[in-house]
A and B are shown apart, each in its own frame.
Chain A
Amino acid sequence: MNENVIEVSNLTKRFGHFTAVDHITFNVKRGEIFGFLGANGAGKTTAMQMLCGISLPTEGKGTVAGFDIIKENEKIKRNIGYMSQKFSLYEDLKVWENIRLFGGIYGLSDKVIAEKTDELLEKLNFQHERNTLVKYLPLGWKQKLAFSVAIFHEPNIVFLDEPTGGVDPAMRRQFWEMIYSASDRGITVFVTTHYMDEAEYCNRVSIMVDGHIDALDSPSTLRSQFNTESMDEVFRQLARKAKRAD
């Protein structure tokens, strides 16, 4: 069960003279919750775009869900789930229409979509919101729905880009409990966050500084490595070294 769902080595992305991601190498195991941390501008988003098959690396190689990130990037897109804080659902579509749309994009049949929609709405306790336009949902609800939609097609791996930004403490915990249950079902979760308590909820975390991965291990190992009791302090010690302006 220790197979790697993500394997990348020396992954690099340059924009002109600027090296956004600078030779990063790491693996992520099946079912793992992997926290991908870093300051604003450290290169997280660019790295994630390469892993998702949206952007091709300038250098380096890797596989995601068993597909080559350069030659098979289209296949990667079909076999992963993706959700970001900035964009995840269509605001002017109803709850069921969003589910229908994303289910269709990932090639599920009408019958499967209909069955799974009922199941999903019931699980989220969302039945009464079936016909609500997404823009009228509170942010926390929207994020829970967006996450469910991102894993609706049962991908091997789901990428979450700051899924809980601006979400209150109670809702954040509900969201993380959804992440746990996805991980228990064998879905690998690759997540970025600026909340350091959430870093503790990951099996392993990496911390990016100026395009490099400067630390990668379980939260408890990192805390003892950096001789501190909080991930916040680990993050601060590393981010302080950053030379690149935010």
Chain B
Amino acid sequence: MIEVKDLHKSYGRHGKANALNGITFTVKKGEIFGVIGPDGAGKSSLFRILASLILPDSGTVTINGFEVIKDYQKIRQIIGYMPGRFSLYQDLSVEENLKFFATLFNTTIEENYYLIKDIYQQIEPFKNRRAGALSGGMKQKLALSCALIHKPEILILDEPTTGVDPVSRKEFWDMLDRLKEQGITILVSTAYMDEASRCDRIALILEGKFIGSNTPQGIIDDYSEILWSVIGGKMSTLLSVLRNHPKVKSSFAFGDKLHITVKEGLQTFDLKQYLLNKGFNNVCIDPIQPTIEDCFMALTS
């Protein structure tokens, strides 16, 4: 279990962009907790404090009963941490990296092999290749294996799937589900909103503060805007025409459609007529249910 209370952190001269401004939350044992936010919102600072790598200015963090500052040595035994930037030894082979991390924690690859088997098997054919020569997806798998080899109780993953293709990302999350089943608590940050939906609970972080923390469904239930999807013609022109409509509050591309939020009183029929008058054809406007990404857009804009 992770308990974070009123965490503050600033970095001197450039502190403003990276500070944590009073973060409080709890992660239960065996839960996947996602932290989602724009770059520079404080995600990495938060994770580094939890991993005992940097000190907070104030506030407390306890992980499974250990205090992150006082008991940092104990903390490091029970957490597995995967930093945002690939930080394994590029000049060591896949197997050498794994062996190194196992040795650091007084264990062996064999002892905890069952825990990493799923993941490691996929890169084992390349165990003699230098880590620096691996592709993006393989690097992530090796980094996760290294973070798991000492059988941690808590996994802290800082944007583990950035730069990873959709298929490998899904595999990665399937692995997280299996680790969760083994009772491992997982704290993870991501910029992919489809991954946010796979967490038990998520928190949106903005300028060092949590601006919403709930189950993915709870976040969606709290959405209060009137949301429509729009298709019809060239996306960039449609975007700017919609933004000039006085009753359209926001307008963003969502895949092959636009999602817009509108003021009360506007009817889909009126807007359709407006677009037809502006020369758009085959206009189609429908009220829709929000996704996590819509919630994110509403909360950050």
**A interface, CB within 8 angstroms of B:** 38-41, 85, 136, 138-140, 162, 165-171, 173, 176-177, 180-181, 184, 194-197, 200-201, 219-220, 223, 230-232, 235-236, 239-240, 245-246
Complex: chain A residue closest to B301, CB-CB: A170
On whether A170 and B297 interact (CB within 8 A), knowing A39-B165, A138-B40, A194-B166, the answer reads yes
Distance in Å: Cβ of B29 to nearest Cβ of chain A: 29
Q: What bracket does the count of chain B residues touching chain A fall in?
A: 35 or more
Chain B residues with CB under 8 Å of A41's CB are: 135-138
Selected contact of B162 from candidates A166, A177, A180, A231, CB within 8 Å: A166
Cα distance, A240 to B36, chains bound together (Å): 29
Complex: chain B residue closest to A230, CB-CB: B255
| Contact bitstring B252-267, A, C-beta under 8 A = 1, else 0 | 1111100000000000
A166 with B191: CB separation less than 8 A: yes
| Contact bitstring B262-301, A, C-beta under 8 A = 1, else 0 | 0000000000000000000000000000000100110011
B38 with A165: CB separation less than 8 A: no
Cα distance, A104 to B73, chains bound together (Å): 51
Question: 4 closest pairs, A vs B, by CB?
Answer: A138-B40, A139-B39, A166-B162, A180-B236
Selected contact of B39 from candidates A38, A171, A194, A200, CB within 8 Å: A171
On whether A246 and B38 interact (CB within 8 A), knowing A40-B136, A165-B162, A168-B191, the answer reads no
Chain B residues with CB under 8 Å of A240's CB are: 167
Cα distance, A95 to B165, chains bound together (Å): 31
Selected contact of A40 from candidates B17, B168, B296, B300, CB within 8 Å: B168
Chain A residues with CB under 8 Å of B191's CB are: 166-169
B126 with A245: CB separation less than 8 A: yes
B135 with A40: CB separation less than 8 A: yes
A166 with B159: CB separation less than 8 A: yes
B77 adjacent to chain A (CB < 8 Å)? no
Distance in Å: Cβ of A85 to nearest Cβ of chain B: 7
A–B pairs, 6, beta carbons within 8 Å: A39-B168, A40-B137, A138-B38, A166-B39, A168-B300, A194-B166
B166 with A196: CB separation less than 8 A: yes
B164 with A40: CB separation less than 8 A: yes
Cα distance, A162 to B235, chains bound together (Å): 21
